Structure 1
Amino acid sequence: MELQKKPSLILRLKSIIQSQRKQCVLLRDLEKEVGFVQKWNFMGIIEKYPTIFCVTGGNGTPPMVMLTEKADKIALEEDEARVQMEPILVKNLRKLLMLSVDCTLPLETIQLIENDLGLPNDFRQSLIPKYPQFFSVKDVNGRTSLQLENWDSFLAVTAREERLACEGVLTSKEKVRVLIDGNYFGPFAFQMHYPAGFRPNMNYLKEVQKWQKMEFPSPYLNAKRFELADPKAQKRVVAVLHELLSLTMEKRLTSAQIDAFHSELRLPARLLLCLIKQHSIFYITNKGAFERRRYMNVVVQRARHPELQQYIHSSVNGLLSFIQKGLVERVAVIFSDSNNVPIERFVFKINVNQSYGSKLEEADLEFSLKSFLIKLPLSQSLMKVLPPDCRWEITAYFHSLPQSGTSKDAEIWVPTDTQQWQQAPLITPIKSMSCEPLGVQLYLEHPSLSEPKA
């Protein structure tokens, strides 16, 4: 999603220029439009794209920015393109409502993906009133919602079904087999592309073959009719997500945008896990899951998702009092397979000098922690490629277990059911630091080559 930042700046600057009476903006007035900080981002855009923006002025005339002749010509054609696109936008909006329960969606939810759908920012005023035969705005449970006025069975065809029909798969009676890449030319199959480096074994391919051939209800049938525990209903959820993405201009959405449709599309509670399991159908990138932030003037990654933030925050805060008392020997971030067998472990071995009585030198401690944080991203090359059905957890190893009734922090920790390796693991040191009263060692553990296979 980082790639969308520059185009959005270009489009915003274009809109600002077009909103001016003389179709130009004085550079000194740009700050009034976008603010002092953003002004410099726009100045960089103006300099980087001379084919779109040109700067004029001089000889007593203040410098101003305007669209180039070519960009202005394209901008004039934009209105005509919008008129030609309108039937497609209306059709996709109708299909989106048909996907939802009761054919109704809150307007604020649609607005979250209005740009992704290609809708104008003022679609409620400029588009909806033009089609009263299709849409109506109503108050549903205190929320302003868009409701579909009539059902069209001809629209209840997914993009996947349209592709299969074009390929002649839906009418073909020839027997076909599932290919080694998981693809199967059948009426209930999805097109698959495995991630680079993923090598499925025979058992995995057998499960894929069974799943590809399994029938499932149409995404356009009311989700209230199905129980998510049913495998066919679970496959239908994949089809719903596939169709939702197909309705967007670039066939992609952030996890937060998809999660906004959770109740209206009857999506599973563990949505991210559902997407990860279908990694050959959906391309998932963690560029949207984490964001770059500065901590102690060092670039770190922070989770975007509130639930993930809460899990990490509560885990670390819940350990703080025990670390200060010297009860914690080490903390591990463990990645395990579907059988709860560890694949790799990041281990932080912690030592707190309880007898340290001198004044804490914060500057020295901060310097040591900075060097520790800088080293963390460099460990990526040591990591293994994780399987699609893996899980992870934060595990603390105590010198002595705290009593559950002694504090609230003790109550959030439960015994782990993750299995242990039978052989001594292979250890790769990553970084260590020692600054009184704190000492930390970070190392990576992988199973021994002689470790029995599960």
Structure 2
Amino acid sequence: MKLLSNFRYNIFNYDASFDSLTISSNNSFGLFNRFIQRRWKKPIVSAQTRLEDRVRDPHLDNFMVHLNKLKCILKIHHLMSNRKRGSFVSLQLMSRWRNIVGLNVTMGSFIYKYPHVFDEFVHPFRRNLCCRVTRKMKELVMLEKVAVKQQEMEAVKRLKRLLMMSVNGTLHIHALRLIRRELGLPEDFRDSILGKYSGDFRLVDLEIVALVDRDDELGKAEVEKWREKEYTEKWLSEFETKFAFPINFPTGFKIVGGFREKLKNWQRLPYAKPYERKEVIRVRSCGGVERYEKRAVAVLHELLSLTVDKMVEVDQLVHFRKDLAIEVNMRELLLRHPGIFYISTRGKTQTVFLREAYSKGRLIDPNPIYIARRNTLELVLLGRRKTKQLLACDNVKEGNTSVVYEVDKECKREGDWVIPFLESS
């Protein structure tokens, strides 16, 4: 009986200790909490985590902030120029464009920040506040259109090289329309480029353009020119530069152990070049995945090299996946190579830059279209700073009490006969 009572007492103590152990394990604090083994889940490495943990480039991010302001101003200019009733718009009407332009502030406060771009005045008869684009801004926008017109042959070469990179020699016009400004194409490129150069381009369908004849002289990628320069000027071996890419890591990039060796092996890895179709890459073969991804990097590198500003929105690149045979996660691929590409998240969209083409937020090798757009951006960045031209305009406004405004002579409205009658009186 004594042994039985001791056995029952031990079982009761064991149950009590087990209950206390389970209670302490369920709670975050307890006496036995440090003796319990916890299994933590392995952190997931995805495109979102890579995007959040990447080393940021402040120069490219600030440049993207300024470009977003310029895009809003160009949208307002486009809306104002499409109006047929005159070259000025009332602020009451412009306030309805806030959602179209994508502003977080009121239209009046946004226009007030840029007196070099927008000119505010009081209507002489209606006595309401109106706005018009300054003459300097109109001249810069016109200079960009002139530069696009002068670079027409270069735009034709860019289109031909894009079609040569495609699988079947065809591209969707909708995808080209999305990056029209990046390629330096005019707004009516379907008629002015595709229709004009019928010997080079052929419309297969309403939304598909094909290349008529392949030009082997254009089948040399921009990275191959860089390799020749590295081979001749820096006396590097052909084995090191034959399949290499220019690498430029951002400031503060941490190089972990084994990274240099992996990068060195990746630089030596052979791949099918963007303009070649002789070799078919089998993903399931030895090293097939790495070679397939390296070819995708080469195609994206060449696509960014063909653009005017050496940058494209990531959402716009997705429309070229099937035509250029890049059946991979686009953002994941770009984030895996921070020495070649940089993704900026400033603004409502994500924009990828070609790192080798920029230095401190400026293009190293500018072209006429980029120079025209940069001059427009410099005018926007003046903000409310007083210049000699702006001071002269202010003096004219103060000296003349009668407000003069521009009217489109081609468009006649009802009641225009009253204006000369009142001026004569």
Instruction: Name the TM-score, length of structure 2 as normaliser.
Output: 0.58
Matches within 5 A, 1:133-172: 133-139=199-205, 144-165=207-228, 168-171=229-232
Q: In the alignment, which residue of structure 2 is the partner of 1:251?
A: 310
How far is 1:54 from its partner? 0.5
Residue pair 1:228, 1:234 contacting (<8 A) in 2 also: no
CA distance in 1, matches of 2:257, 2:94: 61
| Aligned partner letter, 1:57 | V
Residue pair 2:111, 2:118 contacting (<8 A) in 1 also: yes
Matched, 1:210 2:261: no
How far is 1:126 from its partner? 3.0
1:74 aligns with one of 134, 140, 158: 140
1:54 aligns with one of 94, 103, 119: 119
CA distance in 1, matches of 2:349, 2:75: 25
More strand by share: 1
How far is 1:160 from its partner? 1.5
Number of aligned residue pairs: 280
Q: Deviations over 1:184-211 (max 9, x none)?
A: 9723211112244333245221222222
Q: In the alignment, which residue of structure 2 is the partner of 1:174?
A: 235
Q: In the alignment, which residue of structure 2 is the partner of 1:193?
A: 248
The structure having more radius of gyration, on CA atoms, is 2
CA distance in 1, matches of 2:276, 2:341: 22
Residue pair 1:10, 1:45 contacting (<8 A) in 2 also: no
In structure 2, runs of 5+ residues without a counterpart are 1-63, 351-425
Matches within 5 A, 1:318-357: none
Q: Is the partner of 1:215 in helix, strand or coil?
A: coil
Q: Deviations over 1:285-338 (max 9, x none)?
A: 4557999xxxxxxxxxxxxxxxxxxxxxxxxxxxxxxxxxxxxxxxxxxxxxxx
Matched, 1:11 2:77: no
Q: In the alignment, which residue of structure 1 is the partner of 2:29?
A: none
Matches within 5 A, 1:18-417: 18-20=81-83, 22-31=86-95, 41-60=106-125, 61-139=127-205, 144-165=207-228, 168-171=229-232, 174-175=235-236, 186-201=241-256, 203-222=258-277, 225-229=280-284, 230=288, 231-285=290-344
Over 3 Å counting, the alpha-carbon distance change for 1:151 and 1:44 in structure 2 is farther
Over 3 Å counting, the alpha-carbon distance change for 1:81 and 1:36 in structure 2 is closer
Greater RCO, CA 8 A, separation 6+? 2
For the aligned residue pairs, the C-alpha RMSD in angstroms reads: 3.2
Residue pair 2:200, 2:213 contacting (<8 A) in 1 also: yes
CA distance in 1, matches of 2:306, 2:227: 17
Over 3 Å counting, the alpha-carbon distance change for 1:129 and 1:41 in structure 2 is farther
Over 3 Å counting, the alpha-carbon distance change for 1:240 and 1:200 in structure 2 is same
Over 3 Å counting, the alpha-carbon distance change for 1:146 and 1:290 in structure 2 is closer
Q: Is the partner of 1:283 in helix, strand or coil?
A: strand
How far is 1:11 from its partner? 1.0
Q: Which moved more, 1:245-254 or 1:88-97?
A: 245-254
Residue pair 2:183, 2:306 contacting (<8 A) in 1 also: yes
CA distance in 2, matches of 1:232, 1:37: 43
Q: Is the partner of 1:260 in helix, strand or coil?
A: helix
CA distance in 1, matches of 2:327, 2:79: 42
Q: Deviations over 1:34-76 (max 9, x none)?
A: 6799686543332111111111225544432222232233233
Residue pair 2:72, 2:102 contacting (<8 A) in 1 also: no
Matches within 5 A, 1:419-438: none
More helix by share: 2
In structure 1, runs of 5+ residues without a counterpart are 178-183, 292-454
Q: Which moved more, 1:229-238 or 1:39-48?
A: 39-48
CA distance in 1, matches of 2:218, 2:70: 32
| Aligned partner letter, 1:55 | E
Q: Deviations over 1:114-161 (max 9, x none)?
A: 23223233322332211111112112xxx7211111111111111212
| Aligned partner letter, 2:115 | P
CA distance in 2, matches of 1:37, 1:72: 19
Instruction: Name the TM-score, length of structure 1 as normaliser.
Output: 0.54
Percent identical residues: 29
Over 3 Å counting, the alpha-carbon distance change for 1:19 and 1:133 in structure 2 is same
CA distance in 2, matches of 1:208, 1:251: 24
Q: Is the partner of 2:168 in helix, strand or coil?
A: helix
| Aligned partner letter, 2:207 | T
Q: Is the partner of 1:101 in helix, strand or coil?
A: coil
